Structure 1
Amino acid sequence: MEQPSKSHNSVATALIAVGSNQISPYGCPIMSVKEAFRAIERAEIQIQAKSRLFNTPCFPAGAGPDYVNAALRITTTLPPLALLQALHEVESDFDRERTNRWAARTLDLDLIDHGGALLPDRATWDHWHNMPLEQQKTTTPQGLITPHPRVQDRAFVLVPLADVAPDWTHPVTGATINQMLAALPKGDIAAITPLEQGI
């Protein structure tokens, strides 16, 4: 698979993490994730690959019910900020409320990578990438940061991503998905269990 990147036609490949652990207007978390797939695809967004759906422990532990997580590989003509806005509009249609950091949610759509872009700059990315976990719990970025600064820490993102972009390498660190997974505790990965073989 090609590394996500922008072409001369201004088409970018992007990676999106999808999650839900609350009932939405579309039903239970499984139904919400499946409906989100349909809601995301539009003229400027074409889904190239969908992962399996996975049951994943809530993060951080004790913050709510377990999640249903998945991942998408898309192509889009939307620039990063416009794509993020489109994802937020989909979340709003699912009654997503942004309250406490890492609170339970009807739908969570995270832009993991957009054509390998480093946004907004290396210093900001390094700041969020190196932020201690306790500080992450109370601090929220005010703008888009790509690649997602915590992707390497989260099995619930990496395991679904391996379904849709197994050859993706981190545009800053150069680590592959398999290398990032190998660096995580084995128990974190074992806790991510597929709900079904495909959709």
Structure 2
Amino acid sequence: MVQKQGALIAIGGNIPSRAGDPARTLRAALQRLSELGVPVDAVSRFYRTPCFPPGAGPDYVNAAARLAYDGEPEDLLALLHEVEAFLGRERVRRWGQRTLDLDLIAMGGTVWPDSQTYAEWRDLPLERQMREAPETLILPHPRMQDRAFVLVPLADIAPDWRHPVSGRTVAQMLADLPGERRDEVRAL
């Protein structure tokens, strides 16, 4: 069993939910996690980020949170999906518009399900990333090091968290990104 490792999640949305606009939806998701017995230890500032791929919808509101959780990664993922559904998330199109996206980014130093599977998904070409999804949870998130909309908020709450495969901290991974990608993520 994974013990209180400080799960890191990325939170985002770009269309209204039953809770309201995307920022209200993110707040409602964090509240719902607490109601389900998953304490929220820290929350980043909220950020506005461009939709990807460009033109696919309105800009996103993104944030990150650190959760206290003493269960298995797959059980936490199921809870995250439950919160998404509670707030009206429908999984229609990969990387499409959404009311809410709760991505499990990392659980301490856990590599899940194994290093080989992680490496395969990390190295997947972009065109395949856009149409394929893994059948199992992959930790840490195989694209986190490439995404300013994940790293900028994570740097607010866990700048010293160290990636268990690359050995890089959140702050180092963020510094590795081109400045223009970091600058696209703007605090609300």
In structure 2, stretches of 5+ residues that fail to align are none
**Secondary structure at 2:39 match in 1:** strand
In structure 1, stretches of 5+ residues that fail to align are 1-7
1:116 alignment counterpart: 109
1:59 alignment counterpart: 52
**Secondary structure at 2:6 match in 1:** strand
Percent identity, please: 51
Q: Give me the whole-angstrom Cα distance separating, in 2, the residues matched to 1:185 and 1:128.
A: 22
1:182 alignment counterpart: 175
Normalising by structure 1, report the TM-score: 0.91
Matches within 5 A, 1:1-199: 10-42=3-35, 44-195=37-188
Q: Give me the whole-angstrom Cα distance separating, in 1, the residues matched to 2:84 and 2:72.
A: 19
Q: Give me the whole-angstrom Cα distance separating, in 2, the residues matched to 1:34 and 1:111.
A: 17
**Secondary structure at 1:163 match in 2:** helix
Q: Give me the whole-angstrom Cα distance separating, in 2, the residues matched to 1:95 and 1:43.
A: 17
Aligned amino acid, residue 183 of structure 2: A
Normalising by structure 2, report the TM-score: 0.96
Aligned amino acid, residue 56 of structure 1: T
Post-superposition, which runs of at least 4 consecutive aligned residues in structure 1 deviate over 3 A? none
Q: Give me the whole-angstrom Cα distance separating, in 2, the residues matched to 1:137 and 1:164.
A: 29
Aligned length: 188
Tell me if structure 2 keeps the 8 A contact 1:45–1:77: no
Root-mean-square deviation over aligned CA pairs: 1.4
Q: CA shift at 1:96, angstroms?
A: 0.5
Tell me if structure 2 keeps the 8 A contact 1:21–1:105: yes
Q: Give me the whole-angstrom Cα distance separating, in 1, the residues matched to 2:2 and 2:74.
A: 18
**Secondary structure at 1:45 match in 2:** coil
Tell me if structure 1 keeps the 8 A contact 2:51–2:57: yes
**Secondary structure at 2:124 match in 1:** coil
Q: Give me the whole-angstrom Cα distance separating, in 1, the residues matched to 2:180 and 2:4.
A: 38
